[in-house]
Structure 1
């Protein structure tokens, strides 16, 4: 499932491509009937909160809410009317470009109260400068749940997914099974600051890179990582491979419904 940086980058792309432009809107697949209400309107802005995307239009209180889920994706082409390929849930086009949405978990037109309800159930977003990090820190400090579970709980932190949780915990040598309330004072705020930087870089580059300069392939004399999910990482999807720092085999187990990866030596409980 795409992590939060992907949605923020997508919001920037949609706004940059269609912002302040009159758009054509339709649902070639036929499953987003409200698309017709957007046809001929001006797209004002796309925004993101965690893994949720919101698109606002002129003279309309409602906004489009999109959750990509496991299989959803937008594709952009510099063509105002390319042939429809596959099951396109929503097509946006202007005089120069087209964006097609395929396979989302949700694509719906919601009234303001419904939109607010989604925001209300989501936690602090590291990519939101106005995020209430102190509230998130208080929830973590009071919780008996493992920090690996809390980082994936969208009610606590919105946008962090499986890659970022594994990598940020490794970068700070934290045992993923430690309860939130057992973290040392200030540790969560340190994790948060690192997530802000890492996810911000993800928005800029469109990929997840988490290794420090001294562990880059060139610095270590190793081959670059080859993976469909992105860039250089320490432990994510490296089960059974040697840790880049200490050489211990990376371990994995299911935590909060997803495969967690960690180094049992670098991240042993203190």
Structure 2
């Protein structure tokens, strides 16, 4: 399941390459043919990301809601204005340069480290899965428009950029009222909501729930964007037993969870990686950016010694998802 930083990064990609442009829409697979016909030829006017969902607005007060879920993915092709925090030099989008060699960044006129500063737009084809599972450049990068490959639910085509959507949990058209209703059901997102108001909402909900905090952090109605990786890491960083009922977590600890999520989400959007370890040397930082197992405290470390106390990291199932935690530090 994608986590919030990825969705915000892909929304940024759409903002650069589709917003303000007339978009041709089709459904090669046929499952979204009617919806594609409605938005075909309209101008994309706005994009929003809230938690794990993205909303793309078209002229005429029409919105496209996308929730990738477990198996959804985007393919981008064409001359793409890219931010290397979104697509690295090896063609991977949704994650940072896996070679992990560069910390310094070149900022562009928009205040971001876009590849426009080193010669973009460039013609390319990249696969974007909203997790850390991605593929690289395709062999058909010079064909335009690119051939349809596999089961494409929706193809969005601007003059020079193509985006193919596969396997989403949700792909539907909504009115402004329906978008507002969808967002109203979601918990606060630090990149969308006022931080102080979001903290109050999150704290109030958690503090009245008997539900284990390990489940509450994954509930998108409580807080938006947290998935399996961030859950495990936030709980460890707070030294919090995941089984503790929300109402029993001290208020200041709940507030610090929100503030820590705010920090980690910002790092994730900037770097493309779910970096959750602090105070690394430059060498260790490069190593961590190159290898997932070097940038987390407990996630994916079942049976290995805790980085703090040496106790074996436990793996269990909570909320039908894998939970990693240290029974010594988190008690």
TM-score (norm 1): 0.91
Structure 2 counterpart of 1:141: 207
Q: Determine if the alignment matches structure 1 residue 157 to structure 2 residue 223.
A: yes
CA shift, 1:226, in A, is 4.1
Find out whether 1:125 has 2:189 as its counterpart: yes
Asked if 1 retains the 8 angstrom alpha-carbon contact of 2:288 and 2:295, the reply is: no
Distance 1:250 1:15, change over 3 A: same
> Taking structure 1 as reference, are residues 46 and 174 closer, same or farther at Cα in structure 2, changes over 3 Å only?
same
From the superposition, tell whether residues 223 and 180 of structure 1 become closer, same or farther in structure 2 (CA, over 3 Å). Answer: closer
SS in 2 for 1:113: helix
Q: List, as ranges, runs of 4+ consecutive aligned residues in structure 1 with deviation greater than 6 Å.
A: 222-225
- The Cα offsets for residues 51-95 of structure 1, whole Å up to 9 and x where unpaired, read as 11111011x222101110100011212255111111111111212
Is the contact between residue 208 and residue 231 of structure 1 (CA under 8 Å) also seen in structure 2?
Answer: no
Residues 253, 5 of structure 1: alpha-carbon distance in 2 compared, 3 angstrom cutoff: same
Question: CA RMSD, aligned part only?
Answer: 2.1
Q: Residue 266 of structure 2 aligns with which residue?
A: 200
Partner of 1:253: 316
Confirm or deny: 8 A CA contact 2:202 2:258 kept in the other structure.
no
Q: Which secondary structure state, in structure 2, belongs to the residue aligned with residue 213 of structure 1?
A: coil
Contact 2:203 2:251 in 1 (8 A): no
SS at match of 1:252: strand
Structure 2: segments with no counterpart, 5+ residues: 80-143
SS at match of 2:202: helix
Residue matched to 2:70: 70
SS at match of 1:186: helix
Q: Report deviation, 1:117.
A: 2.2
Q: Is the 8 A contact 1:126 1:157 kept in 2?
A: no
Question: What SS does the corresponding residue of 2:217 show, helix, strand or coil?
Answer: helix
Per the alignment, residue 46 of structure 1 pairs with 47
- The aligned counterpart of 2:11 is 11
* CA deviation map 1:27-46 (0-9, x unaligned): 11111121122122111111
User: Highest relative contact order (Cα 8 Å, sep 6+), 1 or 2?
Assistant: 2
Where does the alignment leave 5 or more consecutive residues of structure 1 unmatched?
Answer: none
Query: For residue 238 of structure 1, what is the aligned residue in structure 2?
Result: 301
Equivalent residue runs for 1:64-103 within 5 Å = 64-78=64-78, 81-103=145-167
The whole-number CA distance in structure 2 between the counterparts of 1:112 and 1:104 is 21
Q: Is the 8 A contact 1:29 1:87 kept in 2?
A: yes
- Correspondence for 1:211: 277
Does residue 28 (structure 1) correspond to residue 28 (structure 2)? The answer is: yes
C-alpha spacing 1:251/1:215, structure 2 compared with 1 (3 Å): farther
Match of 2:250 in 1: 184
Q: In the aligned structure 1, how far is the partner of 2:211 from the partner of 2:284?
A: 39
Using the alignment, how far apart are the partners of 1:196 and 1:30 within structure 2?
39
Q: CA deviation at 1:26?
A: 1.1
- CA separation of 1:56 and 1:224: change in aligned 2, threshold 3 A: closer
Q: Distance in 2 between matches of 1:174 and 1:136?
A: 17
Distance in 2 (alpha carbons) for counterparts of 1:42 and 1:231 = 43
TM-score (norm 2): 0.75
Q: Deviations over 1:84-134 (max 9, x none)?
A: 111111111212111111110111111233222211211111222426321
Query: Hey, what's the Cα distance between the residues in 1 that align with 2:8 and 2:309?
Result: 34
